[in-house]
A and B are shown apart, each in its own frame.
Chain A
Amino acid sequence: MIIKTMHFGEVEIDEKSILYFDEGLPGFDNIKKYVILTGDEGMPFRWLQAVEESYPAFAIVSPFEINQNYEIDLDKATEEYLQIKEPSEVAVYSIVVIPEDITKMTANLKAPLIINTTNNKGKQMIMDNSPYQIKHYILDELIKAREAQEQGGK
């Protein structure tokens, strides 16, 4: 099906790739269907794009790429709600904010998006007690990750 996206105009998507956030996201309670769009090859960012409207679309990144030691414990409520049976079913993303001063871009490591790739259900899991920050500066880490990638390729 064709959807209108915030940044890429009209895009063809496979309905099977639609993700269902039945609770929506804090601030966007009514938007329940999203797809993940990939940008150029090698870009660390992807986009979580609303399906029924062009707004909102969120830049997202894998928190494990930002912080190799990133660990999360899925709370029981999230595990049951998303019907997660195996760790391999789980995809985790952090929402990125890129302000005017792009060196200050941040990722929300405290409230990652948890997706069950088997049934395409998703939710933003808020880890109240986590030491991770809602605004974690990521530019340096992304640059390091890119350099490591390029080194590895040589």
Chain B
Amino acid sequence: MLVLTRKKGQSIVIGDDIEITIADVFGDQVRLGIKAPKDVPVHRKEVYLEIKEENKKAAGTNITSFEEAYKNIKK
């Protein structure tokens, strides 16, 4: 992991097409500006991890639960 320090207004460039700018700093929060190509997804990490976990749980849904669930809806 590369660790470096930037001041407000400064930027970091990743590869050719990704740029992250420190837009503002207030207290323990940092506002970032992110420029990236449209096909590169950019997400808050905790949201991305939660989606990933949820997908993994969903992939494990077994058919018995599914059939039971359906019966519950049918009645």
Given contacts A81-B38, A124-B51, A126-B47, contact A7 B59 (CB under 8 A): no
Which residues of the other chain, A, contact B48 by a CB distance below 8 angstroms? 26, 126
Q: Are B43 and A128 in contact (CB under 8 A)?
A: yes
Q: Are A28 and B55 in contact (CB under 8 A)?
A: yes
A104 to chain B, nearest CB (A): 10
Complex formed: what's the CA distance from A81 to B63 in Å?
33
- Count of A-B residue pairs with CB < 8 Å: 96
Interface centre among B50, B58, B68 (most CB of A within 10 A): B58
A28 to chain B, nearest CB (A): 6
The contact string, 1 if C-beta is below 8 Å from chain B, for chain A 130-154, is 0000110001001100100000000
- Prevailing SS type, chain B contact patch: helix
B23 to chain A, nearest CB (A): 17
Does chain A have a CB within 8 A of B52? yes
The contact string, 1 if C-beta is below 8 Å from chain A, for chain B 60-75, is 0101011011101110
A5 to chain B, nearest CB (A): 10
B contact set with A: CB distance below 8 Å: 38-39, 41, 43-44, 47-48, 50-59, 61, 63, 65-66, 68-70, 72-74
A contact set with B: CB distance below 8 Å: 6-7, 23, 25-28, 39-40, 43-45, 55-59, 76-77, 80-81, 95-100, 102-103, 105, 108, 110-111, 124, 126, 128, 134-135, 139, 142-143, 146
